Amino acid sequence: MSGLDHREFSEALGAYALEALPEEENARVREHLAGCRECRAELEWLRASVDALPASVPQIEPPPELKARVMQTVEADAELLRAAGERADRPERRRRWWSAAPAFTTPVRIAAAAGVAVIAVLVVLISGGGLGTRTIQAQVTGPALTAGTRASLRVSGAHAQLVVAGLPAPPANHVDELWVQRGSTAPAPAGTFVVRTGSVEVTGAVRSGDQVLVTVEPGRGSSAPTTAPFIVAKA
């Protein structure tokens, strides 16, 4: 097989390791690997890096709204395809994406392999819901709280959830109310809840440095806190 062919197949190994090639090209690379010791050795090096990536990042439960966002994107794309006609998802055959690439020097090929690793990290993070997700322990105080009362704030981007356990019920005709305080500004209402153990969505954006507060408020909630917060978490 010519040197040009070998270079093309070598440059495709990153996508092959990630199982990102179309089936026809995948079969051609597999056939080349059967007779090329150099490419097999490079593939093993790439696979070792890819296989180690899932264990190198924390496994975090994806937020419940992730599926809804993904399905919205899928449904929007499907609608565009229906509007464009039945052959819209059948593009003309194109040249292989690596066929016109110049020969790689060794440093550039190493950089390309590193790029493959970065892509794989992003896949792991997004599929696990862990992209930018932080869990912050909240301060919990108050005479009605028990030793088993706990609270934490889970922040992903500008979205936040309050996770509570063993929270006592508020007095009759009262609710627990969430607030977001940014700097020295007055706390803004962020929803009411009746959850004793579980998670609560914080309404509105939560930025780094914001404080998420919980107070007990009369009726269905207040426009401004009327009691001292018994849960405080700083994002």
What string of H, E and C letters represents the secondary structure of 205-227? CCCCCCEEEEEEEECCCCCCCCC
DSSP string for residues in 171-211: PTTEEEEEEEE-TTSPPEEEEEE--SSEEEEPPS---TT-E
Q: What is the dihedral of CA 213, 219, 221, 224, to 10 degrees?
A: -80
Q: What is the pLDDT of residue 218?
A: 95
Cα three-residue angle 164-229-152, rounded to 5 degrees = 25
Write out the two tokens for 48: 């070792």
Q: What is the mean pLDDT of each run of 10 residues along the chain (235 residues)?
A: 61 80 85 86 74 55 64 68 58 47 43 50 45 83 76 91 90 94 94 90 92 95 95 94
Closest to 153 in 3D by CA, of 143, 164, 145, 144 = 164
CB 233 within 8 A of CB 151: yes
pLDDT of residue 87: 55
**Tokens of residue 39, six digits:** 């490419």
Residue pair 46/112 in contact (Cβ under 8 Å)? The answer is no
- pLDDT of 67 reads 63
For each of the domains in the chain, give its residue range(s) and CATH number, in order of start.
3-128 (no CATH), 133-234 (2.60.40)
- Report whether 158 contacts 195 (CB < 8 A): no
Say what the pLDDT of residue 83 is: 66
End-to-end CA distance of the chain: 58
CA–centroid distance for 234 within its chain: 21
pLDDT number for residue 28: 87
